[in-house]
Structure 1
Amino acid sequence: MKYLVTGGVGFIGSNLVDKLLADGHEVVVVDNLISENSIARLKNGELSHWDDNQNLSLIKEDINSISDFSIFDNVDALFHLAALPNVQLSIDKPIEYHKANITGTLNMLYACNRAKIKRFIFSSSSAVYGEPKTLPSKEEAHLDYKSPYALHKVVGEQYCQLFTSLYGIETISLRYFNVYGKRQPMKGAYAPVMGIFSNQTLNNMPITINGDGKQYRDFVYVGDVVTANILSANIKFNNYDVFNIGSGIEFSINKVADLFDNKLPRKYKSPINEPRKSLADIRKARSVLQWKPKMQLIDWINDYKLKLGI
C-alpha cells in the first residue's frame, strides 16, 4: 500500500510514518518543516533511520502551495496531520491559523479528489467539545468550540463529510484527546503538558501548572493514536464517520504532576482559556474500529522515569 502523511515529521506524524514503514508500506511525507521541533528531529538524528529507506519520500512543501501534484499519484489513503495546533496562538493569530488549518485541509481534500485517492483520515481534536455539559463526551455531543483552533477542527470535519457526500471520498475524523509519548515536544509553544512536565522533572525544575491543577484530562498514548489511524485506513466502509481517540480514563493535572515527582515545588500560573474537564467515550471506536488503547499513563511515566534515571 502507498500512503501520504501530511505533517509527517511532527510528533504524531513521525510515529505514524515509523509504523507504516515497519509494516512494509510506501510512504510519502509532506511537511513544511517550519516547526522547531520537526527541524530538531531531523538535525539531531532522531529520524536518521529514514535516510536509507527506499520506501520513504520526504517532500519539503507547504500544503497550501503544492507545486507538483504527482506526489499524490497512486496513493491509497492520505493521513492529514499537518496543522497549527496551539489553542492560545490561534486566538492571537486567527488568520494565519485559518489558512493553515482550514485552507490546508480543503487543499488536501481537493488533492484527494483530483488524484482519486479513496480515503482521507483527518486529525481532529477533543477541543471541538469545549466545556462538555456531560461526560464522557460522545461523538454526537454538542460541539461548543471556544477558540479558532477548535472551530477549524469542526470545519475540517464538516469539509470531510461534504467531500464524502459530493465526491465519494471515504473520510474519517479522529478526535484526539491529550496525546503523549515518544517524540512529544518538551518545551515551546506546542509542548503538551506531558512534555512540559517531562522536561521540568528531567531538569529538576519547579513544575508549572496552569490554574489550580484540579482540572482533569484524558491522556492517550501516541502509539495507540497511530493504531487508530491505521485501523481507520483499512476498515471497510464507504461513507463518513468520526471517532473519539482517548483512553476513557481521567487524571487531574495535579495527579499527573505527582506521578512525575511529588517532591518538586509547584508553580501555579494564571488559568488560560481551557475546559475544566475532558473525558472521551471510546465505545464507538472500540466497536467500529476494533480499537482499544493499550498503554496506561502510569506505566508510561514510570517507564520514562526509569529510563532517564529520575
Structure 2
Amino acid sequence: MNVLVTGAGGFIGSHMVDHLLEKGHSVTGLDIFSRGKEEHLPSKQYGNLLRLIQADVSDRTALREKYFRGVDWVFHFAGRSSNVKSLENPPEYHAVNATGTLNMLIAAHKAKVKRFVYAASYSCYGQPRKFPTPETALLKPEFPYALTKLAGERYTLHWHRAFGLPTISLRMTSVYGPKIRTGGNFGPVVSLFVGQKTDRKPFTVAGDGSQSRDFVYIDDVVEAFLAAARSDVAGEVFNVGSGRSVSLNRLVELLGGPVTYVSRRPGEVNKTLADIKKIKKYLGWTPKVRFNHGIRRVLESAGQTVKPGFNVRTIRPSTNRRKGGHV
C-alpha cells in the first residue's frame, strides 16, 4: 500500500510510520517538524519506501497534488493537542485542527484516496455522564482543543456523506508509549510524570490522585487505525481506549517515586473510560497491552526501571499548594 501519514514526526504518527515500513508499505510522512521530531523517523534503512515532506496542513497551497498521487490510505494525525495551550491561542488550534483537516479532506478526495482515517479525541465528550462512555454520548467539548478536534471530525464524516470519500473517525483516550513527549507543566499525565521521573523530581498529582484515565498503549492504537483502514466500514465514529480506567495514584505507584499533591485545575475531567464494544464488533479490534506492561516499556525506553510491589512515598505540603493539571 501507498500510505500518507500526517504528523509523521509526532508521537503517534512516528509509531505508525515505523509499523508501516516494517510491513513493507510505501510511506509519505508529512509534518511541519516544529513539534514533531524528525529524529523519531528512520531515514536510511528503508530506502525509497520512506519520503518525508515538510508542510503545514493549515496551508492549503502547501498540500501539493503530487503528495497524494497514488496514495491508498491517509492517516491524519497532524494537529495541536493541549487543552491548556488551546486557551492561549484558539485561532492556531482552529487553523491546524479544523481547517487543516478540511484541507486534507479536499486533497484526499481530489486524489481519490481509498481510505481516510482521522485521529479524533475522547475529549469531545467533555465531562461524560455515562461510563463506559459510548459514541452516542452527549458531545460537550470544554476547551478549544476539544472543540477544534470535533470540528475536524465533523468535516471528516461530512466528506463521506457529501462526496463519498471513505472516512472513519477514531476518538482516542489517553495514548501512551515509548517516544511520548516529556516535560512541561500541563499535558498528558504519563508524559508529565515520566519527564518528572527522568529529571528526578516528585510527581505533581493534581487533587488527591483518585481521578482516573483510560490509558491505551500506542501499539494498540496503531492496530486500531490499521483495522479502520482495512475495513469496508465508512462514515462511522469509534472509540479507541483500553476499556479500563486507572487512577493517578496507581500510575505513580507503578512509576515509583515521591509525590507532591497540588491543586486541581478548574474544569479538569475526573474520569475517562471509553466504551469500546462498537469497535470490537465492527472492526474486530481489541486492545492487548496491559497497563502495567505498557508502563514498564515506557520506563525502559526512557532508561528507567520499574519495580512492582513497592510502596509510594508521598510529600503533602500543608501550604502554598501550586496549581497544576493533566489530561
Check whether TM > 0.5: yes
Correspondent of 2:169 among 165, 168, 173 = 173
Distance of 1:274 and 1:234 partners within structure 2: 36
Q: How does 1:46-195 map to 2 (within 5 A)?
A: 46-47=40-41, 49-53=42-46, 54-65=48-59, 66=62, 68-188=64-184, 191-195=187-191
8 Å CA contact 1:249–1:279 kept in 2: the answer is yes
Distance of aligned partners of 1:268 and 1:72 in 2 relative to their CA distance in 1, 3 Å threshold: same
Distance of 2:129 and 2:182 partners within structure 1: 32
Letter in 2 for 1:230: L
Distance of 1:170 and 1:303 partners within structure 2: 35
Distance of 2:172 and 2:185 partners within structure 1: 19
Distance of aligned partners of 1:72 and 1:190 in 2 relative to their CA distance in 1, 3 Å threshold: farther
8 Å CA contact 1:246–1:280 kept in 2: the answer is yes
Q: Which residue of 2 aligns with 1:247?
A: 242
**Identical aligned residues as a percent:** 38
Encode CA deviations 1:36-81: one digit per residue, 9 max, x unaligned: xx33x52xxx43x333422000001111221522110010011110
Q: Which residue of 1 aligns with 2:214?
A: 218
- The size of the alignment, in residue pairs, is 301
Letter in 2 for 1:27: V
Distance of 1:209 and 1:165 partners within structure 2: 44
Q: Which runs of 5+ in 2 are unaligned?
A: 307-327
Which 4+ stretches in 1 moved above 6 angstroms?
none
Instruction: Please report how far the alpha carbon of residue 212 of structure 1 lies from its aligned counterpart in structure 2 after TM superposition.
Output: 2.8
Deviates more, 1:205-214 or 1:92-101: 205-214
Instruction: Please report how far the alpha carbon of residue 162 of structure 1 lies from its aligned counterpart in structure 2 after TM superposition.
Output: 1.1
Distance of 1:110 and 1:124 partners within structure 2: 18
Encode CA deviations 1:124-182: one digit per residue, 9 max, x unaligned: 00001110111110011111111111111221121112111111001100000000001
Distance of 1:190 and 1:211 partners within structure 2: 14
Encode CA deviations 1:189-212: one digit per residue, 9 max, x unaligned: 775211221222233211012233
Deviates more, 1:189-198 or 1:2-11: 189-198
Q: Which residue of 2 aligns with 1:234?
A: 230
Tell me the secondary structure at the aligned position of residue 292 of structure 2: helix
Q: TM-score, normalised by structure 2?
A: 0.88
8 Å CA contact 1:210–1:268 kept in 2: the answer is yes
Distance of 2:146 and 2:305 partners within structure 1: 38
Correspondent of 1:209 among 205, 212, 217 = 205
Tell me the secondary structure at the aligned position of residue 244 of structure 1: strand
Correspondent of 1:279 among 263, 273, 276 = 273
8 Å CA contact 1:129–1:141 kept in 2: the answer is yes
Tell me the secondary structure at the aligned position of residue 292 of structure 1: coil
Distance of 1:70 and 1:205 partners within structure 2: 48
1:23 maps to 2:23: yes
Tell me the secondary structure at the aligned position of residue 214 of structure 2: strand
